[in-house]
Structure formats: structure tokens, C-alpha cells
Amino acid sequence: MKKTQITGLNKGTIINKEPTNPNQKVGQIRGRIIDYYIQIELLINAFLTNYFVLENKHSDFLTKFLYDDFCSTGLKIRVLEKLLPENKIVRGFYVELRRLTNIRNIAAHSYPMSLNGPIVLETRKLESKDLRVLEEEFFKIYKKVFPLLIDAVNKLIEDKVKMS
């Protein structure tokens, strides 16, 4: 089995370019949060796939199980937590990972409320949120969680290579 490292992601580098049109600010912040969260989810999927499935079945496992509508992000995190206990990664890791998920959901499922600033209405709680504050919190957590997930996936792959 050849050794494969996770590459191709942006390694946690945050791109933060201000829009020229103020009306684009909400969409840009929402897009940035969702885009970077997708990278977190890709790493979770990579860990679960490499843990459970032989290399020649990775594609089937991803498309027929992990990408299924009923295989929620919450379920994936729950399984990851059982396979990679907090004491083997970092205390508070899963609380922070779930907070990233929560912020991503607010960004994805909220409505713009103001043309003057990036304020959105969180639909489940019917309260307004300043997306700039949520974005700042998101990337503060992201910068801690992302490298830990990359390390966990790469260590799992290295361990599989050693065992083969």
C-alpha cells in the first residue's frame, strides 16, 4: 500500500478579501464559512473512509454511505468521536467541531436582514446575528481544528501503511 498524505486543501490559510459592493458582504461571508466548513467535512470523511474501508472500496463508501442524505454531519462527528477519543486529540476538540457546524448552519440557513451590514436572521431562533462576529469566531476555531484533523487523517494513513 502506498503512502498518501492529505494535500490539495488550503492548509488552513484564510482568504479574507472585502467585497467592493456592500450588498455582497452577507453572501461573501456566508460563502466563505460554508466553503471552509466543506474542507472540515472532507477531512472527517477521509478519516472515516480510511478507518473503515479497504482502499479499493473508498469511492463506494463515500458515494453510497457518507454522501447519502441520511448520513448527517452530526452522525459523522459522533462516529469520529468514538474512533478518535478526545484524549487522543485535544480536550475540547469536539465541542469546537460542533460549534463550527452550528456556525455553518446559521450561515447556510439564515436570511439577510440589513443592506447596511452583514446582519442575518437565524431562522430557528428568530434572532439576528452579526455575521462578522460569527465569521471571526468560526475562523478562530477553524485554525485550531483544521490542522488537528489533517494530522489525524495522515496518522491513520501512516498507521495503515505500516500494518500492510
Nearest CA-CA partner of 1 in 43, 56, 49, 64 = 56
pLDDT given for residue 164 in this prediction: 75
Other CB atoms within 10 Å distance of the CB of residue 128? 14
| Contact yes or no for 118/33 (Cβ under 8 A) | no
Domain-embedded: residue 2: no
The yes-or-no verdict on residue 2 having pLDDT over 80 is no
Q: What is the C-alpha to C-alpha distance for residues 150 and 164, in angstroms, rounded to an integer?
A: 21
pLDDT given for residue 1 in this prediction: 46
The yes-or-no verdict on residue 150 having pLDDT over 60 is yes
The yes-or-no verdict on residue 81 having pLDDT over 90 is yes
Beta bridge mates, 120: 112, 129
pLDDT given for residue 27 in this prediction: 83
pTM: 0.79
Give the structural domain span for 120.
23-163
Domain-embedded: residue 44: yes
What band does 22 get if pLDDT is binned at 50, 70 and 90? very low
Mean pLDDT of 20-39: 82
Q: What is the C-alpha to C-alpha distance for residues 85 and 91, in angstroms, rounded to an integer?
A: 9
Domain-embedded: residue 56: yes
**Count of structural domains within the chain:** 1
Domain-embedded: residue 130: yes
Domain-embedded: residue 66: yes
Domain-embedded: residue 71: yes
Cell numbers linked to 33: 464559512
Domain-embedded: residue 3: no
Domain-embedded: residue 5: no
